[in-house]
């Protein structure tokens, strides 16, 4: 295998990974900003989920910090782990209140986008699953 082939293969895998990562990061960053700004839908959601509104800003800041870590190549893996934990909490919350199937599974879809994007853009993560 020549170096040119490896570079092309890496570039081919990398761009879809960057796009998926950007989509997931944009969604989570948008959600984080909404938690900080606290528009009416966020207030209603916190009430429905049984969380005090005073937690909204802290959760938004966490989302933004974790997303920032995810977007920096050197810390992307840690950011993905932290975002996965955050999204797991979102799933648990939806299950606790008996939300429908979509609100419960949506955080899982976002987590899948995060990890698929990271796997496609980072050869070290691909190495963890056997692609050397």
Helices 3-37 and 40-49 cross at an angle (nearest 10°) of 90
Task: Give me the mean pLDDT over the 107-122 stretch.
Answer: 95
Residue 90, domain member (yes or no)? yes
Residue 2, domain member (yes or no)? no
Residue 92, domain member (yes or no)? yes
- pLDDT, one tens digit per residue, over 78-95 is 999 999 999 999 999 999
Give me the domain span that covers residue 21: 7-126
Give this prediction's pTM.
0.86
Task: Work out the angle at residue 38's Cα, subtended by the Cα atoms of residues 37 and 43, and round it to the nearest 5 degrees.
Answer: 175
Residue 1, domain member (yes or no)? no
* Alpha carbon separation from 35 to 43, 94, 115 (Å, rounded): 9, 17, 23
- pLDDT, one tens digit per residue, over 54-113 is 999 999 999 999 999 999 999 999 999 999 999 999 999 999 999 889 999 999 999 999
Per the structure, the count of domains in the chain is 1
């Amino acid at each position: 295998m020549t170096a040119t082939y490896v570079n092309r293969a890496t570039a081919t895998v990398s761009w879809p990974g960057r796009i998926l990562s950007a989509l997931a990061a944009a969604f989570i960053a948008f959600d984080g900003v909404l938690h900080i700004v606290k528009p009416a839908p966020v207030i209603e959601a916190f009430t429905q989920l049984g969380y005090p509104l005073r937690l909204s800003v802290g959760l938004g800041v966490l989302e933004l910090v974790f997303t920032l870590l995810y977007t920096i190549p050197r810390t992307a893996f840690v950011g993905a782990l932290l975002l996965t934990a955050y999204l797991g909490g979102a799933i648990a919350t939806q299950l606790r209140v008996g939300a429908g199937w979509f609100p419960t599974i949506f955080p899982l879809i976002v987590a899948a986008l995060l990890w698929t994007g990271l796997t496609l853009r980072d050869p070290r993560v691909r190495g963890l699953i056997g692609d050397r």
